[in-house]
């Protein structure tokens, strides 16, 4: 199922970025909400040991909704499993949207390339850090 979701996301990403470049240019400027898929996660311990992981195995969501108007990140789950995290800082630098925030004892930072929707994020606390690679689509 995860492979199927990745293929669908890749196809949608292609349609938005290649088939319709003018839509892609405006879709990643903060004017519309995005859904971002986590494609690859690297889990790094304070000892310096890093390993490739799945989002679920390190307690990170597979999909994240970015709502620029409400300044929130949220997970698509419903009820008590739904998580909403405030975005405390948004900046536009060199064709990228940079988002930052704090959830509990973890700090996070996300960069979304405005031309393609490709996403890189880091999540860290005093014991562990995650480097996340993914892609976003307009909702």
- Pair of tokens at residue 124: 């860290």
Element of type H or E holding 72: strand 72-74
> What would the pLDDT profile of 11-29 be if each residue is shown by its tens digit?
444 444 444 444 455 678 8
* pLDDT tens per residue across span 34-75: 999 999 999 998 888 899 988 888 888 889 999 999 999 998
- The predicted-structure confidence for 73-128, as pLDDT tens digits, reads as follows 998 765 555 788 999 999 999 999 999 999 889 999 999 999 999 999 999 998 88
Q: Topology of 2-138 in CATH?
A: Porin (2.40.160)
Helix, strand, coil shares, percent, the chain, to 5: 20, 45, 30
Give pTM, 2 decimals.
Answer: 0.77
């Amino acid at each position: 199922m995860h492979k199927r979701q990745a293929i669908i996301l890749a196809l949608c990403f292609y349609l938005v970025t290649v088939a319709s470049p003018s839509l892609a240019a405006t879709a990643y400027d903060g004017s519309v909400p995005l859904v971002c898929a986590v494609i690859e996660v690297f889990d790094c311990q304070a000892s310096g040991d890093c390993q490739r992981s799945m989002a679920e195995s390190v307690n990170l969501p597979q999909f994240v909704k970015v709502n620029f108007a409400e300044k929130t990140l949220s997970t698509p789950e419903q009820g008590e499993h739904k998580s909403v995290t405030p975005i405390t800082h948004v900046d536009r630098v060199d064709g990228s949207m940079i988002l930052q925030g704090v959830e509990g004892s973890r700090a996070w930072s996300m960069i979304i390339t405005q031309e393609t929707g490709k996403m890189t994020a880091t999540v860290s606390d005093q014991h562990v850090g995650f480097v996340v690679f993914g892609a976003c689509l307009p909702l």
